[in-house]
Structure 1
Amino acid sequence: MTRCIYYVALTDKDTLWLSADKGMVTTFSGDSLVADTSFNSGFVVSGSGAVVTSASAISFAGDEICSDSLAKILTKEKDRLEILRENKREAARELDYYARTHSAVDDGYNEVMAYRVRNTRERIHVERQLELIGKALRHPMARARLQADFEIVINIVRKNENTVAEEYRYVSKMVARSGSLLLLQINEPSGWPQGIHIFDTGFLAFRGRPAAVLGSWEENGLPVVAPVDSISGLALTSLDGMPVTDARGRLVGVRANNQMVPLFALRRLNWNFKPFYGWLWDGMKTWTDYMLGCDDIPSAITTRMFKKAGRSREKAYLDCRGYGHLQFKDGSRYVGQLHDRIPDGVGQMTYGDGGVYIGYWLSGKRDGKGIMMDTLGYRYDGLWRSDTLSYGSWENSESVYSGNFNKTLQRHGDGWWLKKDGAYYSGTWSDGTRQGFGFAVGEGKMVRAGIWGNDKFRGEQMVYTADRVYGIDISRYQHEIAGRHYGIDWTKMRITGLGTASRKRIKGHIDYPVNFVYVKATEGVTVKNRYYAVDAAAARRHGIHLGAYHFFSTKTSGRQQAQFFLSVAKPKRGDLPPVLDVEPSDKQIESMGGSQRMFREIIDWMRLVKWRTGTAPVLYVSQSFVNKYMEEAPAELLQCQVWIARYGEYKPYTHLLYWQLAYDGRVAGVHGDVDVNVFNGTRSEFETYIRVNAIR
């Protein structure tokens, strides 16, 4: 695996890292999203740790980026990061709001809070990137230089009584480059694991013949058969860098840039790193270790010879155990390891539609680590099981996904999705769409943590516990029922039922204290609640936080209604902010002159009441009103705290202060149905709200 990344040294402490291919910038050299990562094959040519591979891994990159090209890359990235910074700031505001209004009892709370920390780190990182880009752009002679890191992965499958797969990873460095070839040297002093094959580059072949053949039929004849007890080679994710041998297994060249580089070019590469006598000494040392019993030479490689006459090319390759080519009727073409006439081991399949899979196979199916690239620009990388990507990631130019997949490579199961603009979703998927529980942040919306269906957010299912802050709102209808009059026993007041009109998730027994009560005072400019004064006095006397509300009329002005409300309600210091209850029908809104006329009257009511009470009133509306009209509301009205009535199983999807969750609740001490409400926040948040917003 090769990671190529450019660096711009600004000061002794400040270094900017960037990708020439992706045009992305980071302040951290190990950022996998920025580094240009490529995968090539290779083969061992020295017992002391030398590996040959193709230079295509870094061929797209020059040794440096000149100042003019660098300025263009940085300017474009600066524009992208400025947008991302604003998105991260908006996400931070929404995450802070979520943190204030939720607790650990809410589904997904811990996951959202973890992402909140992550978003903060990412925002700081983006701001740091912009700072360094600014420094780089102020230096007209700044240049970016290439840094390439290499990791060698070796997989050995030992087949004795039990098949055992072993994986070895080595950090290496480039020690020589000649034309289209690279020579790498591992940093591991102990050398290679037992069982690895070392290819003869023309001096001495001390450790057996090569165990791999890749190349066309015409070039190399028949494939070499790998030994039964030990099959080894570098992990294949690209055919570039594979050795090319003849039918007897003798190395004749290297596959690089889809061409065969002859053996003399490989020898020239070796001499650039170490002279002839150095390679001779290395080979003699390896042979001595073997003769002294310090090492083991793999068993001999045999070759099965076939005549071309009378046999199809596909038949000949299928009869071999080892490496070869397969051509399928649908146009697909396989190159790699074979076993019993089917792909088995490591290889590349180029499908008829142009897609490519590079990785491990088992009994003709993709199984193990592998990468799939389709014609739409999607790259799938991960762990495959029985031809299905069970877990991994895909990436395109717009987003990245990591998680589970179904058989058709659609997102399915658990996984997270990150768009390049910072929008994020984590949760469950079904056949490529968000389905089930998950949370999303970004896209200019509030945090959506709850149930999803058909890729749309359905809502948050609140869990009701005794820890939440509950309240009620009452009017004359709690006193006058079916022609009879009832009083309220304030000494017994406890919430005992949350209604039956919708499903609710309740934890524990329902026996909640009434923390606040709103009493209707007026309606329009003529209707008074005859029980208001008595109920308000009783609530204050029993230590229940009290507020008054007015029912809005479309037939009179907002200012007149506000004056009438204030004259009747007579709000006192310490009371909750007054509430304007707005529930007009579409026909009533139309008859008063439309939604904009309605909004003007509402704002007039709000302004006068705020001026007289010293606190901003609360707006009570239904979820359907929010969906239909609030997008047209003036900015001044959108600043108001909102009380939403929604009786379904999902919490209202908007910033809100209270949620009226039931119209058919039960309260001890009160006859009949009662509206039950819940404060959108914790008890400490409620106390803070009262301290800051109560009538002065």
Structure 2
Amino acid sequence: MRKKIVRQRKTTVIRKSKKRSSVFSGRLLRFSIGLFVILFVFTIAYHYRDGLAYYFSFKSNHASQLEAEEKRISDVRNFQVLEKSEGKVVGLDVSEYQGDINWEKMDSLENKYPIHFVFIRATVGSDRLDKGFEENWLGAKKNKFIRGAYHYYRPNENSLEQADLFIKTVSLKKGDLPPVLDIEKLPKNQSLSRLKIGLKRWLKRVEQHYKVKPIIYTGEKYYEDFLKEEFGDYLFWIANYNFYREEIDSDWLFWQFTEKASITGIKGNIDVNIYNGDLQQLRFITVE
């Protein structure tokens, strides 16, 4: 009987020890995870301290006095990017989706970052004009913005017809930016090699007409995967909205860093771009 009782007691003691060890390990794991989350949040907050301060009006004494329509940039990252791009030129790109634009009121972001250039969508595919192009094209010129026109390329449509539509629609003047080819999608009914042939035909036709090399707009992944090597002779305007990127890459001519900014004169969100140089350098690449 005694031996049996002793065995039972030993078994009970061992079970309690395992249970206590399991509880302790669980608490330690939860504590470690909680500590990691707190440190991560603190690190992010510290990194974006200037943007957060500006966003909540602690940095600027006059921020609270701005009129309602002069909305501040909603994304703190946007402010961080603009702060780190001091000396570079800021601009927008617009299309019919922005509706009626009040060009006279549209002058700067946050009353701090002047807008110097605007890219305007002119054509889509082989048969469609942007409904707002004519008005936007004239409005940008009248209000002394450096303007540029771009074509939204449809991979499954004839490339030369698309080029001819753009040429027929856009008349570039001295001081305008080079034409832009916007390619964002992969083809459905053709190979990648055929797509590249079509892009080259569009670029060649447009260059022959305007006597200036076009710029290519695309997303960073599209650029890296399909265009970087074979189209290395062209300058690129790259879209990248990733949280981790805060400065323009040295290989990019323009960087579209957000699609969620706001500015007086335009309702809703707007794309913002940075030119990889100063205003004098921007004027140097315009049509002569």
Shared fold (TM-score, shorter chain, > 0.5): yes
- Tell me the CA shift for residue 466 of structure 1: 5.5
Contact 2:90 2:114 in 1 (8 A): yes
CA distance in structure 1 between the partners assigned to 2:129 and 2:183 by the alignment: 17
Q: Which residue of 1 aligns with 2:133?
A: 532
- Tell me the CA shift for residue 652 of structure 1: 5.4
Per-residue displacement from partner, 1:649-675 (whole Å, max 9, x unpaired)? 314546111000110111111111111
Instruction: Please state whether the residue corresponding to 2:267 is helix, strand or coil.
Output: coil
- Tell me the CA shift for residue 683 of structure 1: 2.6
- Tell me the CA shift for residue 688 of structure 1: 2.4
Among all aligned residue pairs of Structure 1 and Structure 2, give the percentage whose two residues are the same amino acid: 26
CA distance in structure 2 between the partners assigned to 1:618 and 1:518 by the alignment: 12
Q: Which residue of 1 aligns with 2:109?
A: 496
Confirm or deny that 1:647 pairs with 2:241.
yes
Relative to the length of structure 1, the TM-score reads 0.29
Contact 1:657 1:679 in 2 (8 A): yes
CA distance in structure 2 between the partners assigned to 1:682 and 1:644 by the alignment: 18
Q: Which residue of 2 aligns with 1:574?
A: 175
CA distance in structure 2 between the partners assigned to 1:493 and 1:658 by the alignment: 20
CA distance in structure 1 between the partners assigned to 2:91 and 2:151 by the alignment: 17
Alignment RMSD (CA, Å): 1.9
- Tell me the CA shift for residue 495 of structure 1: 3.4
- Tell me the CA shift for residue 598 of structure 1: 1.0
Instruction: Please state whether the residue corresponding to 1:490 is helix, strand or coil.
Output: coil
Contact 2:90 2:115 in 1 (8 A): yes
Q: Which residue of 1 aligns with 2:95?
A: 475
Q: Which residue of 2 aligns with 1:165?
A: none
Q: How does 1:69-218 map to 2 (within 5 A)?
A: none
Task: Give aligned pairs, total.
Answer: 206
Instruction: Please state whether the residue corresponding to 2:184 is helix, strand or coil.
Output: coil
Which ranges of structure 2 fall in alignment gaps of 5 or more residues? 1-80
- Tell me the CA shift for residue 527 of structure 1: 1.5
Contact 1:495 1:666 in 2 (8 A): no
**Is the helix fraction higher in 1 or 2?**
2
**Is the strand fraction higher in 1 or 2?**
1
CA distance in structure 1 between the partners assigned to 2:86 and 2:112 by the alignment: 7
Relative to the length of structure 2, the TM-score reads 0.67
Instruction: Please state whether the residue corresponding to 1:546 is helix, strand or coil.
Output: strand
CA distance in structure 1 between the partners assigned to 2:173 and 2:282 by the alignment: 19
Q: How does 1:658-673 map to 2 (within 5 A)?
A: 658-673=254-269
- Tell me the CA shift for residue 687 of structure 1: 2.7
Contact 1:646 1:652 in 2 (8 A): no
CA distance in structure 1 between the partners assigned to 2:273 and 2:256 by the alignment: 4
Per-residue displacement from partner, 1:401-422 (whole Å, max 9, x unpaired)? xxxxxxxxxxxxxxxxxxxxxx
Per-residue displacement from partner, 1:344-377 (whole Å, max 9, x unpaired)? xxxxxxxxxxxxxxxxxxxxxxxxxxxxxxxxxx
Per-residue displacement from partner, 1:86-132 (whole Å, max 9, x unpaired)? xxxxxxxxxxxxxxxxxxxxxxxxxxxxxxxxxxxxxxxxxxxxxxx
- Tell me the CA shift for residue 681 of structure 1: 1.4
Per-residue displacement from partner, 1:382-416 (whole Å, max 9, x unpaired)? xxxxxxxxxxxxxxxxxxxxxxxxxxxxxxxxxxx
Q: Which residue of 2 aligns with 1:677?
A: 273
Q: Which residue of 1 aligns with 2:115?
A: 514
CA distance in structure 2 between the partners assigned to 1:611 and 1:465 by the alignment: 34
Instruction: Please state whether the residue corresponding to 1:548 is helix, strand or coil.
Output: strand
Contact 1:466 1:512 in 2 (8 A): no
Per chain length, whose mean CA-contact separation is higher, i.e. which structure has more relative contact order (CA < 8 Å, sep 6+)?
2
Q: Which residue of 2 aligns with 1:618?
A: 215
- Tell me the CA shift for residue 573 of structure 1: 3.3
Contact 1:644 1:652 in 2 (8 A): no
CA distance in structure 1 between the partners assigned to 2:163 and 2:203 by the alignment: 8
Instruction: Please state whether the residue corresponding to 2:266 is helix, strand or coil.
Output: coil
CA distance in structure 2 between the partners assigned to 1:570 and 1:526 by the alignment: 18
Larger Rg belongs to: 1
